[in-house]
Structure 1
Amino acid sequence: MSDGPVNADDLEWTTHEHGQRTFKRKQLGAAAGGEELGTSLYEVESGKRLWLRHYHEGNEEALFVLDGGGTLWLGPDSAEHTLESGDYVALPAGEESAHEIEAGEDGLRLLAVSTMEEPDITVYPDREMVGLYAGSAPGGDSDERSLSTYLDRNAEMEYWE
């Protein structure tokens, strides 16, 4: 249950630094007591990228560009789209929503919204990798997860052996 409004200025940034993938994040949804809808504010410096190109099998995401701009690569063929302030992108579950984002010359500030369904499988097509999550959805509280692992997408085992 929410205790009322949460102001983004009152929340601390979490910084993620992984080489080219460097950004800041404020988890607004969690701070406001959200349970089934996650919302995060992101700031990305010019030329830096957000998460690895991915899509979800169990969750829908959406992006709203608040300020700045950049490039969005979308879908199985990574079609290139320019992002600018005021743009909204719907990312339903499935391969057609595979996406990657790079901030433009003036940086990028955006809201990312996601359903918080679990379990979820997140597919990283460029790395032939999948992420499996149960107990807490991607972007949720990792301490609550009963399963959180990354595996080779093509790994197979015989069922009866």
Structure 2
Amino acid sequence: MVNESDLDWTEHEGAETASRRKKLAAAAGGEEVGASLYEVDPGERPWPLHYHTGNEEALYVLAGEGVLRRGEGYDDVPLSPGEYVACPADESGAHQVVNRGEEVLRYLMVSTMNEPDVAVYPEADGIGVFVGAPPGGDGERTVSGFWNRGDAVEYWD
């Protein structure tokens, strides 16, 4: 058991992404299900549009307003407190949260913690590979990285 107020925020800031995160499930000893509390400032997004092939995710909005960008063929969906969104482990689960509101967007993100997993980034035509520890997991990875799909080589090359 853990109280979120006992955990420090982990700050993430990338070229086009920024957020704060508290790994609730890991702090409470969770193994099969991950859960993190996120805060995203106005105008920010925590990650690129993506989906997982090995892990289902879900989010529950606690405070603030934003938009859930969905993958190709989906409309953007407004997010407000009380919204729950399931993101299946396939292309239909492609998602990206964007805080288009005027206050901090705060939400709970839940995920199965399966490995190996491949994350697909459709807008960047990239993939991420996670072996040994799932995305968001704290274990040591034996294989991991991010690649452009166009960098693939033939099997015997």
TM tier, shorter chain? Answer: over 0.9
Q: Indicate conservation of the 8 Å contact 2:49/2:71, yes or no.
A: no
* Aligned counterpart for 2:23 among listed residues 18, 27, 33: 27
Aligned partner letter, 2:112: T
Aligned partner letter, 1:52: P
Q: CA deviation at 1:97?
A: 1.0
Q: Percent identity?
A: 51
Which structure has more strand as a fraction of its residues? 1
Q: Indicate conservation of the 8 Å contact 2:39/2:105, yes or no.
A: yes
Q: CA deviation at 1:86?
A: 0.2
The C-alpha deviation readout for 1:3-27, integer Å capped at 9, x for no partner, is xx20000000000112441110000
Q: Indicate conservation of the 8 Å contact 2:42/2:102, yes or no.
A: yes
Aligned partner letter, 1:39: A
Q: Indicate conservation of the 8 Å contact 1:78/1:99, yes or no.
A: no
* Aligned counterpart for 1:113 among listed residues 110, 113, 119: 110
The C-alpha deviation readout for 1:39-66, integer Å capped at 9, x for no partner, is 0000111111111110000100000000
Return 5+ residue gaps in structure 2 as ranges: none
Q: CA deviation at 1:153?
A: 1.4
Q: How does 1:104-143 map to 2 (within 5 A)?
A: 104-141=101-138
Return 5+ residue gaps in structure 1 as ranges: none
Q: Indicate conservation of the 8 Å contact 1:70/1:105, yes or no.
A: no
Q: CA deviation at 1:154?
A: 3.0
Q: Indicate conservation of the 8 Å contact 1:68/1:84, yes or no.
A: yes
- Report what 2:4 is aligned to: 8
Aligned residues: 156
Tell me if 1:38 matches 2:12: no
Aligned partner letter, 1:37: V
Taking the aligned partners of 1:146 and 1:99, their CA distance within structure 2 comes to 27
CA-based RMSD: 1.3
Aligned partner letter, 1:116: M
Change (3 A) 1:150 1:7: same
Q: Indicate conservation of the 8 Å contact 1:68/1:106, yes or no.
A: yes
